[in-house]
Every structure is written in C-alpha cells, then in structure tokens.
Chain A
Amino acid sequence: MYLNFGFLLMNKIISKEYFSDKVVRLEVEAPLIAKARKAGHFVIVRVGKMGERIPLTIADADVEKGTITLVIQMTGVSSTKLGKLEVGDSITDLVGPLGKATHIENFGTVVCACGGVGTAPMLPIVRALKKAGNKVITVLAARTKELIILEEQMRSLSDELIVMTDDGSYGNKGLVTNGVETVLNREKVDLCVTIGPAIMMKFVSLLTKKYNIPTVASLNTIMVDGTGMCGACRVTVGGKVKFVCVDGPEFDAHQVDFDEMLMRLGGYKDFEREEMEKLSKLDKEG
C-alpha cells in the first residue's frame, strides 16, 4: 500500500499560505516521509530539471493526510523557485527524512530560542518536548512585527511564549538573546534549543555558555546530496570535522565553530547574487 510508486513520486502541493511576501508555508503530499519523519529531520528538494538540491527542515507532518509542511523564506534562487510553486504543482524531487532526529526526553525546563523561519522547524521540537513532560518556554524573535510567524501555534504548544522584535514593533524590543537571558536570570533552565540564522545561534550559544546551560543548535549549512556523500556541509564540532547531514543537523552548540560555519555559508555569495539577478530579470521580462 505504501509503495504505490506513482503516488510517491508526485510531491504535489496541496495547500499554500503566505506568512509574508517572502515567507510561505507549503503543505506537500509525501506520505512515506510523513510517516517516517521525527522532530528535527529534514528533506532535500529540487525544483525543475536544472534545479539545485537544497535542505529544508520539516516543519510539520500529517500522517493521516500523508503530507509534510515546509516553510520557505525566499532568499535565494532555489528557495524563490520553490516558494513560487502553487497548489497543484509538484516539487520535482523530494527526499527524506534525513539527519538525526532531535533527542527528546524529560529534561525539566527547556528554553526554545528561534528566529525568522527557524520558528517553523522549532514547532515539532516544542511539541515533542512538551509531550515528553518538559516545561517549555519559547522565545520567538524576528526583525519586525511582519516577520513573526506561527505565533498562535507556538503559544498554544508552549508553557510560555516570549516575542522579541529588533525594532520593538511587537512584543518586547530586543534580540532573541535578550529574551533568553530574561528567563535564565529568572529560573533554573535545564536545556536550551536554538534554530535560526547562524549568527543568531552563535550569540545564543555564547550567552548560554556563560550561564553553563547545555545548548543544542540545529545547523543549516550548504548541502548537495544530504546523504553524507560529499562533505559540503562539514562543520567543526569540538575540534572534529562533522557532516551536518548525517551527524547532525543538531549539535552541542558550545562545541560548534560558528565563525567557520558563517565563513563557509558565505562561500557562494557571488554566485547567488548573479543567479538572483538573472531570475528577477526573467520575471520582469515575464
């Protein structure tokens, strides 16, 4: 029943929602992945025959419906092509679930610090942590009010939700670290989980290190195959080379060399800029 090939190969988009003009949520038909995935897992997608392979963390899944949810921030060529797909369209290639699942147990009190689209993959982790009996305090951060996503879902799953905006247009004014520090000053925290831009995770990690709070970061590096074949995603963790796609994506944040990771993330900046210019030119030409 599961191995109905045609069904599996469809990857059809069955619903689409705009969180902002650059952030969309796609619900994709992928019954095998929906059934097999756990919190923390990711998929690799490819759009079009000349498309590149990019990693995306699974934000949610519905086993009954046989769907997974992806939240995409349209920053580069591939994420833009993906984000522009409409209901009824299919994703050319979709493979997963990949990576190691989040280690879930009853830790006690957990602070979940997420920023931007990192909020989407944090959602299933918050849900799983809560189910395991943890007290979960979520710190949800964005540059400005318009970029806050999934606030209601997060609020209903967490014991407490702290919203931070850089410009103070909503919730508290300040960075995600300000929100986390408030909690750390207030009560005993057993674990911190962080997902977001590398620079954000770096500063969360520096903060929790000061307070000696074990911290897990879900890394989002450049990937090609996502199955351990190439090492494009390699990072240094505790002085050792690790592949994010098979050893991660989650690591002990205090052991991660974030500066090296940021440097490697910038490796293809020039290519990306050129490709984006081509894409926007095509758009204008209609």
Chain B
Amino acid sequence: MPNISEERSKPWRVALRESLKVKERMAIPRVVMPSLDPAYRAQNNEEVNLGLTPELAMQEAKRCIDCPEPTCMTGCPVNIYIPQFIKQIEVGEFAEAAKTLKITSALPAVCGRVCPQEKQCEAKCIHVRTGKDPVAIGHLERFAADYERESGNISVPTVAAPNGIKIAVVGSGPAGLSFAGDMVKFGYDVTVFEALHEIGGVLKYGIPEFRLPNYVIDVEINNLRDMGVKFMTNCIIGRTISMEDLKAEGYQGVFVGSGAGLPRFMNIKGENLVGIMSSNEYLTRVNLMDAANPESDTPVFKGKKVAVIGGGNTAMDSVRTALRLGAERAMIVYRRSEEEMPARIEEVHHAKEEGIIFMTLRNPIEFLGNEQGRVTHMIVQEMELGEPDASGRRSPIEKPGCTEIIEVDEVIISVGVSPNPLIPRSVEGLQLTKWGTIVVDEETMQTDIPMIFAGGDIVRGGATVILAMGDGRKAATSMHEWLQGKK
C-alpha cells in the first residue's frame, strides 16, 4: 500500500504541481461525458455513456490540485488512492493509473460507471467547497480501467504467497467480489459460491447493458480468477452445502454477501394480475436470461404502456429497459416529487432525454384487469408533500378525492427490496434484526458466530454497489486480523 504523503513528495508529483498554478487548475471547466444520441440509444441496448478520450481525461486530470490531505478519499468507501491515479492520468501513465485503482478496488470499471460519486468521493472534492464542479473522479476511474482493458495488457495485482487457509464467500455480488479480491491478495485460498448460474450478482441480473455492459464485468471477474479466486456457480450455502460441510472441508472463515434480493410489493388490490411484476423479475428476465433476444427460451412481456412504480436507480433501469423493448409510453410513477427521488441525477437526466414520462406525486392504489387477468388500468392517488419525516424527507400525503385512471398493459414494481431470507434462515444461531438483516459488529463486520462475517445489502438492506464493496474490504481486513490472531 502506498504512503500518501510519500508518494505526493516524489519529484514527478512535485514538478507536476508546479507546472500549473492552482488558480489555473481551478479555472478549467469540468469535462462533459460524451454519450450516444437519445433518439438512437432508446432503440437499442448499447452503452449510453461513451467514456472519455485520452485528451479529455488528461484535461480533466489537470483540474485536480493534488491536495496534501485528499478529502475525496474519505468519501470513497474503498479508499481509492484518488490523487495518485489522477496525477498518473495527467502525465499520460494510464496503465499505472489502472494499477493504482486495483490496489483498493476489485472492480474499477464497474464502480466508475455505477457509483453515485456525487454523494461520495466527488461530494468531498475541494472544488465543491469553492462552489465549483468537483473533479470528475468517476469518469477518470472509468477511463483508466477501460484504457487498461482495451489495451489488452491487464495487470494482475500481486498476491501474497499462499497461506493454505481456505475461505468461503457466499454470493458473488459486489460485496463478495471485493472481499474475495482482498483476501486472495493476503494469500488465502478463496472460493466464491453463487446460487445463480452467472457470477456478478446485481451487476449481472440488475444493472442493464446500456449502463454496465456484461463484458466489462466479466473482464474484472476474470482478473480475480487470474489472481487465484475460485468460483462455484449453482451452489447455495446452507442448502447445497451446509456450514458444517464447509467446516468439515477445512474452511476457516465465511463471508456472507448474499444481498437484499427479496422484492417488496405494495399489497394493494389487483397487484397479482398478469403483467405486474417486481423490477427484480423484469430485470432478471431481460439482463440475466436475455429474454428480449428471440434465441432465448425465457419470455418477457413487451408492454406498450408501461408504468414503473418507484423513484430509485432500479426504477430508472426498469423504465429505460421497457422503452428499449418497444414501449410507446414508459412512465415513472413516484409518490414524492422529483427532488426527493433517490435515483442518480445522471440517470434521471438520461431517462428524460430518452422520452420517459415522469408522473410524480402520484401513488397507485389499485390495479384493474381484463377477463384473462391481464392488467389494463391502474388507479393512482394524487399526493402532496407534508412535513419532513424522521429521515428529513417531506412525506407524501394523499390529496382527498384526487384520483385518476391510467391505461397500462404492464406494471413494474420498484419500491425496494428486503434481505433475502434464504441464507440467514439456513444458518443456525445467526443473530438477525427484525428486518431480517444480519447483525454484525460495525467495525469488523463479524457476526456473533466468530468464523462468519457479513457485509453489503444482507447487513444494510438495499444500499449501493460501492457501500457493499466497502463492507467487503472492511470484512477482509478484519477477518485477516482475526485469523492471524488465532494462530
């Protein structure tokens, strides 16, 4: 691990800082990510954001003033060496920048694309304090990772000599992959067990191709494979193999990163009509099962009037998918106003550009169907914003008597997820909260069964990819300490 101030005092960094005045750096406008034309991209599944060119990336890198105490790093859940990789980009050492990213992050090309940087690293950038746009850290991270992948010369991070200790990882989503990456670097013999037939968790079944292409994920997974991580699909810990089996096989530590896959429904009349489904089902059919492809055996409804209920990233992913599958009217129905939407601003912006209809301050109260049981209409209640609630958000309240009927032939419910009960239920003695999340020590991510650690959505409920990865890192460090202490 590099020492931040030591690296910063190296002659090349000092010379670089002196080459351009801080004031001049601060005056450079933030780069705009090139993207596909909205009318074109709404017809296909191609990645919307095109990435930065080397010139754009080097120009953006100049905006970073190389702070002595980089606050941006504190905003990153995996503590990427941000100024270091950005300065490497500024001097054109793109492959080195990619190596720097991989010291702390198992999936930089993924994170550069899907992290809500505006709430994390970029929110802590010094530019923000002076009222300017933050350095586009996410765009630069993506640039370095993509550059390395496309160069065909992918560096495999160095790993410690094998220590022969077997570690099991339950779930191959962002938390599990990040944990596995760190543990294999420490020298452990790591096997990741995945219930589905593909590795990647939400990165594969949830986030669509137009936001995160599968080949990008697969390259990063293969990188972990090259580092020595073993993957086993179609295997459910607690079901196919019990915890006792793992112990008998000599596994000394288990990390549970099984996610919050259980979708919530609204429990309103007509919700089980045909054509109404969770965003998890819809996105799994399209992303994991490739249902829109005529070659695929998995079917999916291709509605013409599609309503997606909710305002998070999953809702945006679903509604933009519906559009790409041929919807004439693809609508977001959200009970608060746009200001309260939890989705990333960039996603909302992209959705609007593509022609998604936003129906805010509206909440469905009933679905109506035809004789075949297929949904045809929904009744929505108009809402208004009341006083701020405990979370600080203004809570929506019903406007009495104000309802309307909207024609729909497909409805996707995207109102959140709960922790998947499969693993917690099948591991005896694991302490759970009343919401079904696993109880861990917040510092160490260790559960009350000492050999079991947990992180990501199974601990937090529905959260973000990068927080899950941060948990994976934290759990790896503390499991390593715990195992070393046992010796």
A residues near B (Cβ < 8 Å) are 1-3, 5, 8-9, 32-33, 36, 46, 48, 50-53, 77-78, 81, 92-98, 224-225, 227-232, 234-236, 241, 243, 246, 260, 263-264, 266-268, 271-272, 275
Identify which of B233, B240, B261, B275 gathers the most chain A CB atoms within 10 Å of its CB.
Answer: B240
Knowing A229-B420, A271-B299, say if A224 contacts B289 (CB, 8 Å): yes
Q: Is B272 a contact partner of A77 (Cβ separation < 8 A)?
A: no
* CB closest residue in chain B, given A245: B422
In the complex, what distance in Å separates the CA atom of A93 from the CA atom of B233? 9
* CB closest residue in chain A, given B259: A229
Q: Which residues of B contact A224 (CB under 8 A)?
A: 281, 284-285, 289, 298
Give 12 CB contacts A-B under 8 Å: A2-B245, A36-B241, A51-B297, A52-B297, A93-B233, A93-B234, A96-B236, A224-B281, A224-B284, A232-B277, A234-B272, A260-B272
Q: Is B239 a contact partner of A97 (Cβ separation < 8 A)?
A: yes
Q: Is B262 a contact partner of A228 (Cβ separation < 8 A)?
A: yes
- In chain B between 213 and 268, which residues have their CB closer than 8 angstroms to a CB of chain A? 230, 232-236, 239-242, 245, 249, 261-263, 265, 267
Q: Which residues of B contact A52 (CB under 8 A)?
A: 289, 296-299
Q: Is A78 a contact partner of B195 (Cβ separation < 8 A)?
A: no
Q: Is A241 a contact partner of B197 (Cβ separation < 8 A)?
A: no
In the complex, what distance in Å separates the CA atom of A228 from the CA atom of B271? 18
B280 part of interface (Cβ distance < 8 Å):
yes
Q: Which residues of B contact A94 (CB under 8 A)?
A: 234
Q: Which residues of B contact A275 (CB under 8 A)?
A: 297, 299
Q: Is B240 a contact partner of A231 (Cβ separation < 8 A)?
A: no
In the complex, what distance in Å separates the CA atom of A260 from the CA atom of B304? 24
Q: Is A267 a contact partner of B420 (Cβ separation < 8 A)?
A: no
B53 part of interface (Cβ distance < 8 Å):
no
Q: Which residues of B contact A2 (CB under 8 A)?
A: 241, 245, 249
How many cross-chain pairs have Cβ atoms below 8 Å apart between A and B? 136
* CB closest residue in chain B, given A3: B249
In the complex, what distance in Å separates the CA atom of A224 from the CA atom of B262? 13
B residues near A (Cβ < 8 Å) are 191, 195-197, 205, 230, 232-236, 239-242, 245, 249, 261-263, 265, 267, 271-275, 277-278, 280-281, 284-285, 289-290, 293, 295-299, 372-374, 420-422
Q: Is B278 a contact partner of A230 (Cβ separation < 8 A)?
A: yes
The 7 closest A-B pairs by CB, nearest first: A263-B373, A271-B299, A230-B281, A229-B261, A267-B274, A52-B298, A52-B297
Knowing A32-B240, A52-B298, A231-B280, say if A267 contacts B235 (CB, 8 Å): no
Q: Which residues of A contact B281 (CB under 8 A)?
A: 224, 230-232
Q: How far is the CB of A30 from chain B (nearest CB, A)?
A: 9
Q: Is A95 a contact partner of B372 (Cβ separation < 8 A)?
A: no
In the complex, what distance in Å separates the CA atom of A228 from the CA atom of B262? 6
Knowing A95-B195, A266-B274, say if A227 contacts B241 (CB, 8 Å): no
Q: Is A98 a contact partner of B262 (Cβ separation < 8 A)?
A: no
Q: Which residues of A contact B299 (CB under 8 A)?
A: 52, 268, 271-272, 275
* CB closest residue in chain B, given A229: B261
Q: Which residues of B contact A97 (CB under 8 A)?
A: 239-240
Q: Which residues of B contact A246 (CB under 8 A)?
A: 262, 421-422
Q: How far is the CB of A21 from chain B (nearest CB, A)?
A: 22
In the complex, what distance in Å separates the CA atom of A251 from the CA atom of B235? 26
In the complex, what distance in Å separates the CA atom of A221 from the CA atom of B258? 24
Q: Is B261 a contact partner of A227 (Cβ separation < 8 A)?
A: yes
Q: How far is the CB of A120 from chain B (nearest CB, A)?
A: 21
Q: Which residues of B contact A235 (CB under 8 A)?
A: 272
In the complex, what distance in Å separates the CA atom of A59 from the CA atom of B280? 30
Q: Which residues of B contact A243 (CB under 8 A)?
A: 262
Q: Which residues of A contact B298 (CB under 8 A)?
A: 52-53, 224
Q: Is A96 a contact partner of B196 (Cβ separation < 8 A)?
A: no
Q: How far is the CB of A57 from chain B (nearest CB, A)?
A: 15
* CB closest residue in chain B, given A241: B265
* CB closest residue in chain A, given B196: A225
Q: How far is the CB of A35 from chain B (nearest CB, A)?
A: 9
Q: Is B261 a contact partner of A231 (Cβ separation < 8 A)?
A: no
Q: How far is the CB of A40 from chain B (nearest CB, A)?
A: 13
In the complex, what distance in Å separates the CA atom of A160 from the CA atom of B245? 39
Knowing A2-B241, A93-B233, A229-B261, say if A50 contacts B290 (CB, 8 Å): yes
Q: Is A33 a contact partner of B295 (Cβ separation < 8 A)?
A: no
Q: Is B277 a contact partner of A96 (Cβ separation < 8 A)?
A: no
Q: Is A229 a contact partner of B241 (Cβ separation < 8 A)?
A: no
Q: Which residues of A contact B236 (CB under 8 A)?
A: 95-96, 98, 227
B265, B275, B297, B373: the one within 8 Å of A77 (CB): B297
Q: Is B420 a contact partner of A234 (Cβ separation < 8 A)?
A: no
In the complex, what distance in Å separates the CA atom of A260 from the CA atom of B269? 12
Q: Is B232 a contact partner of A8 (Cβ separation < 8 A)?
A: yes
Q: Is A227 a contact partner of B422 (Cβ separation < 8 A)?
A: yes
* CB closest residue in chain B, given A278: B294
Q: Is A264 a contact partner of B373 (Cβ separation < 8 A)?
A: yes
Q: Which residues of B contact A33 (CB under 8 A)?
A: 240
Besides A2-B245, A231-B278, 10 other A-B contacts (C-beta < 8 A):
A5-B232, A50-B295, A52-B299, A77-B297, A98-B239, A224-B285, A229-B284, A234-B265, A235-B272, A271-B299
In the complex, what distance in Å separates the CA atom of A264 from the CA atom of B241? 33
Q: Is A48 a contact partner of B297 (Cβ separation < 8 A)?
A: yes
In the complex, what distance in Å separates the CA atom of A236 from the CA atom of B268? 12
Q: How far is the CB of B441 from chain A (nearest CB, A)?
A: 27
Knowing A52-B298, A53-B298, A77-B297, say if A230 contacts B280 (CB, 8 Å): yes
* CB closest residue in chain B, given A271: B299
Q: Which residues of A contact B373 (CB under 8 A)?
A: 260, 263-264, 266-267
Q: Is A96 a contact partner of B239 (Cβ separation < 8 A)?
A: yes
Q: How far is the CB of B79 from chain A (nearest CB, A)?
A: 31
Identify which of B236, B271, B420 gathers the most chain A CB atoms within 10 Å of its CB.
Answer: B236
* CB closest residue in chain B, given A98: B239
Q: Is B261 a contact partner of A46 (Cβ separation < 8 A)?
A: no
